[in-house]
Structure 1
Amino acid sequence: MLNECLKALAIDPAGVYVDGTLGNGGHAGAILERLGEGGTLVGFDRDVDAIERVSEKLKSAEGRRVELVHDNYANMAERLDGLGIGKVNGLLLDLGVSSFQLDLAGRGFSFMRDGPVDMRMDQTQGQTAGELVNAASEQELADIIYRYGEERASRRIARAIVEARAKMEIGTTAQLAGIVERAKGGRRGKKTHPATKTFQALRMAVNDELAGIEQVLETMVGRMAEGGRIVVLTFHSLEDRMVKQFFSRHVPREESLQQGGVRRIYEEPPVKWIWKRPLTAGNEEQAMNPRSRSAKLRAVETGEYDGDKA
């Protein structure tokens, strides 16, 4: 949904734009192409490989300022302070795992490629998913799988994991996927793999993803310039719900007063929706990129508010 993201950002050639999730650099490169003399692009990624990869792609900036930061986007406001950057004209967050990470067996994100159960977006720090599944209690695992994966069979899966690791440490994604598949009773004609929700849950827990989303939105909404835009692309319901609820709290709504008249209620600063409903990928893009089927794009603009579209 590259074109939709760029349209939502409404790029000012002289503006300051932040890509909070560099990935393979597709969005960052497209933003940079639209920036003119004096424009600034700041890119964040927790994956040092992404920083190195994108650095090569963006090395010819021609008068435009480019800063690439190896850090969690949750720390964005603090890192922008360190760069001497104040107000921002546009912020883009493409949430989830990049295709590059999914394609590398050694990263452990996908059950389609056998590798170590890692799943860390930043491999320089933190607990791996393998350490989590081999050490957490049955109740802790069930809670994680249910909360982050919205998996109804979370208790059965957690019990199966604990029983399996008692016999042998769970060391590979194939082992883990097999345990989950057996616990759920196989695919039974379904298109999605039985381990999909469990892998999602473990990845989100290891990387503390929901807390990061909340923090970046909380700290950046007040840093947006007048008319600045925050654009967020999500890939599952938990992320989308969090983003929608956050934006909704900042969109003014009118409440009738008992004594007559109305008052506008919202959290500062006010924002307005760019469109009423989230955008989704078209049929052609879904056919080319199956991952885009679950994508939802939401965007808001900061500044004076002229009506509730929610």
Structure 2
Amino acid sequence: MEPTWQHTTVLLNEAVTALLTKPDATYVDATFGRGGHSRLILSRLAPAGRLIAFDKDLEAVAAAAQIADARFSIRHAAFRDLGELPPASAAGVLMDIGVSSPQIDNPARGFSFRNDGPLDMRMDTTRGQSAAQWLATAPVEQMREVIRDYGEERFALQIAKAIDARRQERGPLASTRELAELVARTVKTREPGQDPATRTFQALRIFVNAELEELQEALEASLDVLAPTGRLVVISFHSLEDRIVKQFIAKHSRDEVDRRAPFAPPKPMRLKSLGRVKPSDDEVRANPRARSAVMRVAERTEVAA
């Protein structure tokens, strides 16, 4: 029997409460995962309400297919594809960014250094290069930039050189264990309690899936999809993501002045920030993976851009 990979949804009640202000409206769960948020949204929707979910992971789409509710639909698509929805059609858009527990815990997906598996890391296994394929040919300087910028790893150059030396001597890396052991031999110091490979694995996952670029595109698309007073709720798990969300909300929470036309009236602000929420101490004790989560909430303004 295939193992069932469990996922504990972070900030479940907080996110759905912030999102759902009109039970008879249409909502978007842009990152279905294993459906924790979606199921709670459906439990609170009125009969006339609708929920549209997105996920590019085929396993997540298969999990969504088990929801027998006429108000619900799932799209096998990245959340950057939000813009395909009609303008001003949603009363709320929820984004739970990053990798889910089933993806991390299943060695066959290649996201984790804790169990050996193929070095894949793709959220959508039907397209794109795996981490192993990219590492087999990437120039040292490009590997250094990816590991430094997406993993905030200060030993990025040493790791990139070690990967290059390994593939010249013995061929490309093929498994998560091979990469984790190579990084452990290369990184001599690390924060207490953190595996030396943590930052490198994070960097490769973000790069292979173009996560930061997709987040930026999804946020921009949400402005068009959200109806006036609609809510944008975004949960992120590391500083690179949260910085993008914070800056995006801040940018659109003020009137924009076109410096090329200083006498033209400013474009009215498109969002109103409603603050941020962190998991409670009780939630972090029950689910340690929640400890780095940050939820930011904003509301689409009444004034059209």
Shared fold (TM-score greater than 0.5)? yes
Match of 1:50 in 2: 60
Q: Which amino acid aligns with 1:273?
A: S
Match of 2:237 in 1: 235
Q: Distance in 2 between matches of 1:13 and 1:104?
A: 36
Q: Distance in 2 between matches of 1:264 and 1:119?
A: 47
Match of 2:72 in 1: 66
SS of the counterpart of 1:274?
strand
Would you say the 8 A contact 1:222–1:269 is kept in 2? no
Would you say the 8 A contact 1:117–1:173 is kept in 2? yes
Structure 1 residue aligned with 2:200, among 198, 201, 208?
Answer: 198
SS of the counterpart of 2:65?
helix
Q: Distance in 2 between matches of 1:264 and 1:284?
A: 49
Name the stretch that deviates more: 214-223 or 225-234: 214-223
Match of 2:176 in 1: 173
Q: CA deviation at 1:10?
A: 3.1
Match of 1:139 in 2: 141
Gaps of 5+ in 1: 256-262, 306-310
Q: Which amino acid aligns with 1:68?
A: I
Match of 1:3 in 2: 13
> With CA pairs under 8 Å and 6+ residues apart, which has the higher RCO, 1 or 2?
2
Please give the per-residue CA displacement for 1:96-131, whole angstroms capped at 9, x wherever unaligned.
001011111000000011100000000000000011
Q: CA deviation at 1:304?
A: 4.1
Match of 1:308 in 2: none
Would you say the 8 A contact 2:255–2:269 is kept in 1? no
Would you say the 8 A contact 2:20–2:41 is kept in 1? no
Structure 2 residue aligned with 1:155, among 157, 160, 170?
Answer: 157
**Residues 268 and 172 of structure 1: is their aligned pair in 2 closer, same or farther, counting only changes over 3 Å?**
farther
Q: Which amino acid aligns with 1:181?
A: A
**Residues 268 and 131 of structure 1: is their aligned pair in 2 closer, same or farther, counting only changes over 3 Å?**
farther
Structure 1 residue aligned with 2:37, among 7, 16, 27?
Answer: 27
Would you say the 8 A contact 1:8–1:274 is kept in 2? no
Matched, 1:245 2:247: yes
TM-score (norm 1): 0.88
SS of the counterpart of 1:17?
strand
Match of 2:274 in 1: 274
**Residues 67 and 177 of structure 1: is their aligned pair in 2 closer, same or farther, counting only changes over 3 Å?**
same
Q: Which amino acid aligns with 1:130?
A: A
Q: CA deviation at 1:86?
A: 5.2
**Residues 91 and 254 of structure 1: is their aligned pair in 2 closer, same or farther, counting only changes over 3 Å?**
closer
Match of 1:75 in 2: 81
Q: CA deviation at 1:12?
A: 1.5
Percent identity reads: 41
Runs of 4+ in structure 1 deviating by more than 3 angstroms, as ranges, are none
Would you say the 8 A contact 2:147–2:199 is kept in 1? yes
5 Å-filtered alignment, 1:30-41, equals 30-41=40-51
Structure 2 residue aligned with 1:296, among 274, 288, 294?
Answer: 294
Q: CA deviation at 1:223?
A: 2.1
Q: Distance in 1 between matches of 2:165 and 2:201?
A: 18
Would you say the 8 A contact 1:11–1:34 is kept in 2? no
Q: Which amino acid aligns with 1:41?
A: L
Q: Distance in 2 between matches of 1:264 and 1:31?
A: 40
Q: CA deviation at 1:268?
A: 5.5
Q: Which amino acid aligns with 2:289?
A: R
SS of the counterpart of 1:294?
coil
Gaps of 5+ in 2: 1-10, 258-263
TM-score (norm 2): 0.89
Q: Which amino acid aligns with 2:299?
A: E
Q: How many residues align?
A: 286
Q: CA deviation at 1:274?
A: 1.2
Please give the per-residue CA displacement for 1:25-84, whole angstroms capped at 9, x wherever unaligned.
10010011111111110011010111111221x21x2xx521100011111222x25xxx
Q: CA deviation at 1:293?
A: 0.8
Match of 1:260 in 2: none
Q: Which amino acid aligns with 2:62?
A: E
SS of the counterpart of 1:119?
coil
Q: Distance in 1 between matches of 2:88 and 2:251?
A: 24
**Residues 232 and 264 of structure 1: is their aligned pair in 2 closer, same or farther, counting only changes over 3 Å?**
farther
**Residues 264 and 4 of structure 1: is their aligned pair in 2 closer, same or farther, counting only changes over 3 Å?**
farther
Superposition RMSD on alpha carbons, in Å?
1.9
